Amino acid sequence: MPTVTLLLNATDAPTANASEVMAAIYAELRQMAGAKMAGEPVGLTFQATELVHEAWMRLSKAGHWQNRGHFFGTASEAMRRILIDQARRRLAQRRGGGAAHESIDEIDLPAPGPDEEIVAVDDALAALEASDPQLATLVKLRYFTGLTIEEVAEVLGISEATTKRRWVYARAWLAQCIREGDVSRIQA
């Protein structure tokens, strides 16, 4: 049994062994965050280390984890929410953040950036989660935490071949949903 699972099962009070758990999984969390942040533009307010620390703060309040897969699934969700919250804050600031509005004719509009992409993916992911929660979990693990196909297969307890097929399907589904811009139409 992996060290993380043993530590997670060692006590019913996760805060009692939190420092041991953190020491055992810090490198993996840092690698996950680094993989996700590598694709982000330079100058974001979050760096990979800060993302790990913020996620750990949320994870330490989350409660008891059943095993390694449950822990990394929870970590993936925490990182996803942190990145989405950050993207929404930056988008709100770009939209004025309380500043006086100017005529749109006098402003050069930027092309959609990574913040818009993160929010669009999150909206489409909410629609996917309504129809297929496990597929949505796979996307969260791949897109928001940067786990490899092999790591996702291990966390979800499915074969690598199934993980690859479902990842291809999920990407196509999300791309269509985002391209059409009508998330509510596809929720059924």
pLDDT of residue 86: 83
pLDDT of residue 52: 83
pTM: 0.51
Site of tokens 């071949």: 161
pLDDT of residue 149: 92
Give me the tens of pLDDT residue by residue for the chain, a chain 188 residues long: 456 666 666 544 445 566 676 677 787 888 877 777 776 665 555 678 888 888 888 877 766 777 777 788 888 888 888 888 888 887 776 655 555 554 434 434 344 456 777 788 788 888 888 989 999 999 888 877 788 899 899 889 999 999 999 999 998 888 888 887 754 433 32
